[in-house]
Amino acid sequence: MPNIIYINGKYASYEDSKIHVNDRGYHFGDAVYEVIVFNNKIFYDFDGHIQRLFNSLKSLEINFSFSMSSLKLIIKNLIKMNRAIVGSVYIQVSRGISERNHSYYGLNIKPILTIIITKKSNIDINVKGVRAITLDDNRWSRPDIKTTQLLPNVMAKTKAVKNGAYESIFIDSDGYVTEGSSSNIWILNNDNKLITRNLDGKILSGITRNSISSFAKENNINVVEKRFTRDELFEANEVFLTSASSFVIPIIQIDNHKINEGLVGNISLNLRKLYFDNFKS
């Protein structure tokens, strides 16, 4: 079974791929990343993810010279080499290698690009509802940049899993929902408005969120981007999450509150289907 990754200009087996101990990604989380899913030669939202990667790099002042098309070529090569049909692509760019020093000012170092393919079993259009828990958002003030510095997210997801849930939903200090530990959160309220938090710098600008918003609007669903409270979350008719690896997943219980009497909602399921249909065509 081949397991080939791309690291620092080379294709290499897992065993032969080495990260330098002075990689700033390793020391400081001084790195950005993206996850893109593919299925039978279809990439979901490829350009959006790569564009966001470039935005994250710019925010952190990492000088990266690869173009969108050269990244695509490497990724296609890797998928072929790994004989993968369905799976995800993990792309990470760290600032590079230098002796440990917090400041990067004046460092003349080359970013390290790593790309890893993970094979998946088939993607199911149908999906079961999942449980979520809420907890305080204790992340840094720039969660809009997709960096590998993810400890609060890691702790939050682990707490969810320990509690038999799929996702943790962060709540800000004013009682409003920000996002999930690795997803954006949506509610369908009692007025049939589909609400997700606006891009106020307190959430990641999810690529799946962006597509779902367009597909919903094209299908005459009233989409509103604004903050909503934890109570609105509990009282919603439907709740779902979006992310590159989960697409759209309905949430049927949050803490001790059942959503839609614990049943998967139609709008959530329709949006999941719409997402797949849009990339098929």
Catalytic site positions: 146
- Determine if 207 is a binding residue for ligand PDD (CB under 6 A): yes
Which tokens is 72 given?
A: 């695509």
- CA 33 to CA 115: how far, in whole Å? 10
- Determine if 244 is a binding residue for ligand PDD (CB under 6 A): yes
Part of the chain binding ligand PDD (CB under 6 A), chosen from 7-15, 122-130, 203-211, 230-238: 203-211
Q: Say if residue 19 is exposed, middle or buried (CB neighbours under 10 Å; 0-12, 13-18, 19+).
A: middle
- Determine if 245 is a binding residue for ligand PDD (CB under 6 A): yes
CA angle at 11 for the pair 8 and 12, rounded to the nearest 5°: 100
Q: Closer CB to ligand PDD, residue 8 or residue 182? A: 182
Q: Say if residue 103 is exposed, middle or buried (CB neighbours under 10 Å; 0-12, 13-18, 19+).
A: exposed
Say which residues have a Cβ less than 8 Å from residue 222's Cβ, sequence separation at least 6. 192, 193, 194
Instruction: Report the run of H or E that residue 272 belongs to, with start and end.
Output: helix 266-280
The nearest distance, CB 203 to ligand PDD, in angstroms, is 6
The nearest distance, CB 150 to ligand PDD, in angstroms, is 7
**If you write DSSP's letter for every residue of 49-75 in order, what string do you get?**
HHHHHHHHHHHTT------HHHHHHHH
The interface mask with ligand PDD, positions 83-122, x = CB under 6 A, is ----------------------------------------
Part of the chain binding ligand PDD (CB under 6 A), chosen from 6-14, 67-75, 205-213, 227-235: 205-213
The nearest distance, CB 211 to ligand PDD, in angstroms, is 8
Q: Which residues bind ligand PDD (CB under 6 A)?
A: 35, 153, 179, 182-184, 204, 206-209, 242-245
